[in-house]
Amino acid sequence: MKNFIKGLLPKGMRNKLKSMAPGNSGGMAVAVPYTIQVSKPGLLEGKVAVVTGGSGAIGRAICCRLAADGAMVVVCGMSHDKMQGVVDEIKANDGQAVMKQLDISSEEKISEFYQWLKDTYQQLDILVNCAGGSARQASRPIYELETETIDNTLHVNLRGTMLCTREASKMMVEAKSGAIISVTSVIGEHGKAKFSEYAAAKAGIIAFTKSIAMELGNLGITANCVSPGIVQRGTITPAQMAKLKKTNYMNAYGRPEDISEMVAYLTREEGKFITGQNFKVDGGRSLGLKGD
């Protein structure tokens, strides 16, 4: 059989393979070094992670996942009680976490936060931009959309993400290492009626992420987006969920943990060669926004 296969190859290729064989002994084997690494607890041990919007449903799951992998997690948000709940949950499972109030609509507060981070930990390995949201009650067709709604939505989602990333990147550039993940939305790529300001903000984050991936890649820093579809959370009633889950092709809704697992993968050693990408975790919703 070996002689038959050899006969199918051009002479030049046979000689090339022969020269590549171990010991050049004339065999047809080609040695290709390959290492398989098995995931295990402590993958992020010694890493410091900042999660904005860390007290929300998705943010909470991300904080807990990163802490379970060994990272020291800084839970950022606006609600003291909700952040405390996340920190307590992490510590109850032998993880490390602290909470820090952060208003990402304020450039001054963002600067103060990163100065505190640098003074306290002297490093930042992971940034997850999870803060944001849509003004669902104020969303209107474009011809009825209030300027205040446009400004607030862009301010919190796009501008806040850009400012947090700018300050985080300064620390990562010094270390020549880091992972930046921004939680966006499938709406940012496919749009949605009466959500034009939200779609624009999320689309901006996706384009922003691709751009900084080009800037930071040669410095050892990755930048990616994760775009959820419908995710179960406490603010959505069971009746609403029953309707919303029909908007994807799995006829189901996602769990916050579905998003956190994708985020966690991008922070690990296994994800270090992935950058500038937008990962849709949406049950197929973006295949056509079925029923949306």
Q: Could you read off the pLDDT tens digit of each residue along the chain, which spans 292 residues?
A: 555 445 555 555 556 545 545 445 444 444 444 333 444 567 999 999 999 999 999 999 999 999 999 999 999 999 999 999 999 999 999 999 999 999 999 999 999 999 999 999 999 999 999 998 776 666 789 999 999 999 999 999 999 999 999 999 999 999 999 999 999 999 998 888 899 999 999 999 999 999 999 999 999 999 999 999 888 776 667 777 677 667 777 777 789 999 999 999 999 999 999 999 999 998 888 787 555 5
Total tally of structural domains belonging to the chain: 2
Rg (CA), the chain: 23
Range of the domain at 258: 45-287
Does residue 12 share a domain with residue 119? Answer: no
Does residue 141 share a domain with residue 8? Answer: no
Q: Is 114 a member of any domain?
A: yes
**Nearest to residue 200, comparing CAs of 188, 214, 215?**
188
Q: Is 177 a member of any domain?
A: yes
pLDDT, residue 6, reads 53
Query: How many of the other CB atoms lie within 10 Å of CB of 260?
Result: 26
Does residue 194 share a domain with residue 156? Answer: yes
Does residue 64 share a domain with residue 8? Answer: no
Does residue 97 share a domain with residue 24? Answer: no
CA 60-187-144 angle, 5° bins: 110
pTM of the predicted model as reported, rounded to 2 decimal places = 0.83
3-state secondary structure of 275: coil
Q: Is 292 a member of any domain?
A: no
- As given in the structure block, the two tokens for residue 169 are 């990147």
To which residue do tokens 């006829």 refer?
Answer: 251
Q: Which amino acid is at 178?
A: G
What residues have CB less than 8 Å from 43, skipping those under 6 apart?
69, 70, 268, 269
Does residue 161 share a domain with residue 19? Answer: no
Contact 156, 199 (CB under 8 A): no
pLDDT, residue 37, reads 41
Does residue 61 share a domain with residue 30? Answer: no
- As given in the structure block, the two tokens for residue 138 are 């104020």
DSSP per position, 30-67: -----------TTTTTT-EEEEETTTSHHHHHHHHHHH
Q: Is 145 a member of any domain?
A: yes
- As given in the structure block, the two tokens for residue 243 are 């309707």
Q: Is 204 a member of any domain?
A: yes
- As given in the structure block, the two tokens for residue 198 are 């939200």
Q: Is 40 a member of any domain?
A: no
Does residue 155 share a domain with residue 76? Answer: yes
Does residue 144 share a domain with residue 1? Answer: no
Does residue 132 share a domain with residue 3? Answer: no
Does residue 216 share a domain with residue 137? Answer: yes
Does residue 253 share a domain with residue 182? Answer: yes
Contact 210, 262 (CB under 8 A): no
| Active site annotation includes 198 | yes
CATH number at residue 105: 3.40.50.720
Q: Is 268 a member of any domain?
A: yes
Kindly state the helix (H) or strand (E) to which residue 183 belongs, with its residue range.
strand 178-183
Kindly name the residue from 198, 249, 253, 265 that is annotated as catalytic: 198
Q: Is 147 a member of any domain?
A: yes
Range list of β-strands (E), 8-150: 48-52, 72-77, 96-101, 126-129
